[in-house]
């Protein structure tokens, strides 16, 4: 029997060595809201962008890591009276997710309208969406190629997702040189997040031939480059390979969504304050051991990635990166995490709680 599948990616992908040179072409004269983080204000990137185009009408540069409703509300209300036709998002996953949040509104631009869509998972079509140009500055989250955004409510210790079909970026511009200033810990965390995206899209009910090919390519690039990059952060070749890995992973899990590793990670991040890239990846060796021998296509993909059927190579990588794979190190247990798992991601996963 032939398995049917589809693949949809409306985002134009542009890979370049200098995004400044081409940015104004893709803005195309539209009044632009620039969203970034304080780091880029310090490094002068905002000034570079303003010098390259005359279209910037407002700059938001105070996006925090793991965007929360309470912080986004303040900015959302500030934007009500700003006239813009395009959002330019340049930053890591938090900036990209926040930009998607700001891109959605009703006619009155009411904040509660948007919060209700997210928290009640209301299916609605009566919203307006501002197009987004995304320029990722970390190689990991993949938000620039997905139609969803992660928003946190730390008072509830809960992660929410804004997921709408229009949330794909209009254009995504990749420039590996933007990652050269990313410190070692964030470089490792985001690369491991990429690896999780790739592997999670393989042991996934929504997996297909196209997504698996992208996922395998992504994971191979991570496995081959993460240790050399961690020891030589100024090497643009390693940076470029890891960024391409992030792109390929985005092209995979944008179709499948994530699975059990991410489902486990949200509790670990919210309750144990573990960075997302670590929380969603330190369980990967365990999950590899649990999935082996159950699905031929998964075994074939893992052998192609690691050159073996098992988790030994990946465990050695974690050891070299000084990333523990023992739950005790993160002040929790496997049982505690499974008892508090985010069930929405289990819907996609070929590995279930009872398999562990």
Q: Tell me: the pLDDT tens digits for 245-277?
A: 999 999 999 999 999 999 999 999 999 999 999
Which domains are delineated in the chain?
Answer: 12-176 (3.40.50.1970), 183-355 (1.20.1090.10)
Q: Phi/psi zone of residue 195: left (φ > 0), alpha (ψ -120 to 50 degrees), beta?
A: alpha
Q: Looking at residues 215-222, what average pLDDT do you find?
A: 98
Q: Looking at residues 58-85, what average pLDDT do you find?
A: 93
Residue 181 has pLDDT above 80, yes or no: yes
Q: What are phi and psi of 79, to 5 degrees?
A: -85, -5
pLDDT at 122: 61
pLDDT at 243: 98
Give pLDDT tens digits for 113-132: 999 889 886 666 789 999 99
Q: Phi/psi zone of residue 36: left (φ > 0), alpha (ψ -120 to 50 degrees), beta?
A: beta
Q: Looking at residues 53-75, what average pLDDT do you find?
A: 93
Q: Looking at residues 330-351, what average pLDDT do you find?
A: 93
The residue among 122, 194, 200, 193 whose CA lies nearest residue 161 is: 122
Residue 40 has pLDDT above 90, yes or no: no
The residue among 186, 266, 252 whose CA lies nearest residue 7 is: 252
Q: Looking at residues 125-147, what average pLDDT do you find?
A: 94
pLDDT at 120: 82
Strand partners, 138: none
The CA-atom distances, in angstroms, between 71 and each of 42, 68, 78, 98, 269 are 21, 6, 11, 10, 18
Give pLDDT tens digits for 21-37: 999 999 999 999 999 98
pLDDT at 121: 62
Q: Looking at residues 186-199, what average pLDDT do you find?
A: 98
Cα separation, 35 vs 133, whole angstroms: 10
State the pTM of this model.
Answer: 0.95
Q: Looking at residues 149-170, what average pLDDT do you find?
A: 90
Cα separation, 331 vs 336, whole angstroms: 10
Give pLDDT tens digits for 307-337: 999 999 999 999 999 999 999 999 999 999 9
Residue partners of 15: CB distance under 8 A and separation at least 6: 174, 244, 247
pLDDT at 154: 86
The CA-atom distances, in angstroms, between 232 and each of 136, 145, 187, 278, 318 are 21, 28, 11, 20, 17
Which DSSP symbol is given to 68?
A: B
Cα separation, 52 vs 306, whole angstroms: 43
- Could you give the percent of the chain with pLDDT greater than 70? 97
pLDDT at 126: 83
Q: Burial, 276: exposed, middle or buried (Cβ in 10 Å; 0-12, 13-18, 19+)?
A: buried
Band the pLDDT of 38: cuts 50, 70, 90: confident
């Amino acid at each position: 029997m032939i398995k049917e599948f589809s693949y949809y990616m409306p985002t134009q992908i542009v890979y370049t060595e200098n995004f400044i040179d081409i940015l104004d072409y893709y803005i195309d004269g539209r009044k632009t809201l620039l969203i970034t983080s304080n780091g880029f204000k310090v490094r002068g990137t905002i000034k570079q962008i303003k010098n390259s185009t005359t279209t910037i009408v407002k700059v938001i540069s105070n996006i925090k890591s793991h965007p929360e409703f309470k912080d986004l509300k303040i900015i959302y209300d500030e934007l009500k009276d700003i006239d813009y036709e395009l959002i330019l998002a340049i930053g890591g996953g938090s900036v990209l997710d926040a930009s998607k949040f700001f891109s959605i509104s009703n006619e009155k631009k009411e904040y509660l309208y948007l919060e209700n869509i997210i928290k009640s998972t209301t299916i609605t079509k009566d919203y307006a969406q501002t197009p987004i140009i995304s320029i990722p500055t970390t190689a990991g989250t993949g938000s620039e190629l997905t139609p969803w955004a992660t928003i946190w409510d730390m008072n509830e210790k809960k992660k929410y997702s804004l997921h709408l079909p229009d949330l794909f970026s209009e254009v995504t511009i990749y420039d590996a040189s933007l990652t050269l200033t990313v410190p070692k810990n964030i470089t490792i965390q985001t690369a491991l997040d990429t690896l999780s995206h790739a592997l999670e899209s393989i042991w996934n009910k929504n997996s297909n031939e196209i997504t698996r090919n992208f996922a395998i390519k992504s994971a191979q690039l991570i496995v081959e480059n993460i240790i050399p990059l961690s020891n030589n952060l100024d090497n643009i070749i390693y940076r470029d390979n890891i960024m391409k890995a992030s792109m390929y992973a985005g092209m995979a899990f944008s179709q499948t969504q994530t699975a059990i590793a991410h489902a486990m990670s949200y509790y670990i991040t919210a309750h144990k304050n573990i960075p997302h890239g670590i929380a969603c990846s330190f369980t990967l060796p365990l999950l590899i051991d649990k999935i082996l021998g159950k699905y031929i296509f998964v075994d074939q993909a893992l052998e192609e990635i690691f050159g073996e059927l098992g988790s030994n190579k990946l465990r050695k990588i974690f050891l070299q990166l000084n990333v523990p794979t023992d739950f005790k190190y993160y002040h929790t247990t496997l049982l505690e995490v499974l008892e508090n798992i985010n069930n929405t991601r289990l819907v996609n996963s070929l590995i279930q709680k009872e398999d562990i």
